[in-house]
Structure 1
Amino acid sequence: MGKLGVIIVAAGKGSRMGTAESKQYLQLGQKPILVHTLQLFQNIQEVHEIILVVGEHDLDRCRGYVQDYGLSKTTHVLAGGAERQDSVRRGLDSLQQGTDWVLVHDGVRPFVKKEHVFDCLEKAKEQDAAVLAVPVKDTIKVVDSAKRIQSTPDRRSLWAIQTPQAFRLSLLQEAHERASQESFIGTDDAMLVERLGTTVHVVEGDYYNIKITTPEDLPWAEWILNHVRGEGQL
């Protein structure tokens, strides 16, 4: 099947958390959030290597995690770039030769279900590009800068995109190369691939695969850890 590499992006400052500490290093249970995420992919047999991309000031701390928690598949801990996609690009450039498939995942999503990771990867192997997502529960409004409602899209067509996002490596490399040449900055990797004219397929995940971003997310994350996706429950 060719080698599978995983890029974990955790270079964000996390200003929305309102803490001095970046969100990925806050404790969840007995470990930092980021360590839970790394261990999840460490324990997936099909993963050949993990590239971790973090803030420059956090390199030593994260190399310490790799050592202390026995994260043997984490082959590189790299400093991220100015934008998220710069960080992903650095990760792509560091993958081992012979890697055919890549998963890109947020460092602050420690609860993705392994079964959903495999579903996403299988869809990518069929179609070259796939992302985990869930149907949007709320009614969404398009609002202008003056906070006036402009339109109400049909909720049935709206999905909230998660990670991992899975790609044929050569396709994602091409997408990043094109974006770089054209100075285009996208909000996720799928957007860069879409710009090539390639169809990206959605694979349904679940609502436990939260991105821990704001203070309100922490008690919910603790509950998920203790009741749904803790050690041995994945």
Structure 2
Amino acid sequence: MYKGHYVSVVIAAAGMSNRMGSKINKQFISINNKPILAHTIEKFERCRYVDEMIVVAKEDEINYCRKEIVKRFKFNKVSKIVRGGKERQDSVYNGILALDEKTDIVLSHDGARPFVKIKNIVDGIEGAIEYGACVIGTPVKDTIKVVGDSDNITNTPKRDFIWAAQTPQCFKKEIIMEGYRKAINDNFMGTDDSSLVERLGIEVKMIMGSYENIKITTPEDLIIAESILKNKGTIFRRKEFVFQSR
């Protein structure tokens, strides 16, 4: 518990992994003899200010996740594994509905972001307490172009104002709940949790994250993950576990 606040994390791990081209969910691909999802959960397990985690998984992977991730690696803070929805937004909402009633600070995080720094988790918790809503992110390095229907460039926004949003995205519980309720009522599908809160007219603070906090989505991202682990002095090993529904 952080200064009297009960902090819960929703780990979104119910994606389809279409861009990975793998036979299994990307979260279960192993790097350095540990599934990506286990690397991710471990960061929040090690953060002393996190009180509980809700993992959201595909329905037919819940038992596998419980046995091969939570029990195998002895993650004590994972209180529930719940069924995901059709879209990520649906999945995170299922996770929010399963939170402990004591929760007042909610973090949402991608299961495929295993390199989040504990410092950024703490910064996010503090940001949610201070501002009500915040997002971890980094300034973009490339020039961004806005392209129209004919693939012609229509605008070049000033790079100083463009950031790449990451996770965790962090909120006071009542704020993110209100964002989700309005999105459901309006049949609105956002690109991330922050966009639901922004629609309420609530300011969301951007907090500096890390360029290492990548989301592993494609085979190329695994190569980047290999480089990150090597830079940390870790031997990289990749293995695809054969998934069997249990």
Provide the TM-score with structure 2 as the length reference. 0.91
Match of 1:23 in 2: 26
Shift, 1:223, TM fit: 2.1
Whether the 8 Å CA contact 1:7–1:103 is kept in 2: the answer is yes
Whether the 8 Å CA contact 1:8–1:53 is kept in 2: the answer is yes
Whether the 8 Å CA contact 1:102–1:167 is kept in 2: the answer is yes
Structure having greater relative contact order (Cα 8 Å, sep ≥ 6) = 2
CA distance in 1, matches of 2:74, 2:132: 32
Whether the 8 Å CA contact 2:49–2:122 is kept in 1: the answer is no
Match of 2:238 in 1: none
Match of 2:127 in 1: 123
Which one of the candidate residues 141, 154, 161 is aligned to 1:157? 161
Q: 2:219 is paired with a residue of what secondary structure? A: coil
Letter in 2 for 1:92: I
CA distance in 1, matches of 2:200, 2:127: 19
Letter in 1 for 2:28: Y
CA distance in 1, matches of 2:149, 2:179: 31
Shift, 1:228, TM fit: 3.1
CA distance in 2, matches of 1:129, 1:226: 34
1:66 is the counterpart of 2:60:
no
Q: 2:129 is paired with a residue of what secondary structure? A: helix
- CA-to-partner distance for each residue in 1:115-152, whole Å, 9 max, x for gaps? 11111221111110000010000011111233221111
Letter in 2 for 1:104: S
Letter in 1 for 2:64: R
Which one of the candidate residues 189, 192, 196 is aligned to 2:196? 192
Root mean square deviation of aligned Cα:
1.4
Match of 2:138 in 1: 134
Whether the 8 Å CA contact 1:111–1:229 is kept in 2: the answer is no
Which one of the candidate residues 30, 34, 39 is aligned to 1:36? 39
Shift, 1:229, TM fit: 8.7
Alignment of 1:61-100 (within 5 A): 61-64=64-67, 65-100=69-104
Moved more, 2-11 or 18-27: 18-27
Q: 2:166 is paired with a residue of what secondary structure? A: strand
Letter in 1 for 2:187: S
Shift, 1:24, TM fit: 1.0
CA distance in 1, matches of 2:46, 2:6: 16
1:53 is the counterpart of 2:48:
no
Q: 2:104 is paired with a residue of what secondary structure? A: strand
1:106 is the counterpart of 2:110:
yes
CA gap of 1:78–1:18, structure 2 versus 1, over 3 A, is same
CA gap of 1:113–1:22, structure 2 versus 1, over 3 A, is same
Aligned residues: 231
Shift, 1:230, TM fit: 6.1
CA distance in 2, matches of 1:28, 1:111: 12
CA distance in 2, matches of 1:230, 1:8: 25
Match of 2:243 in 1: none
Match of 1:2 in 2: 5
Q: Percent of counterpart pairs with the same letter? A: 45
- Runs of 5+ unmatched residues, structure 2: 236-246
- Runs of 5+ unmatched residues, structure 1: none
- CA-to-partner distance for each residue in 1:50-70, whole Å, 9 max, x for gaps? 000011121111011211110
Whether the 8 Å CA contact 2:43–2:117 is kept in 1: the answer is no
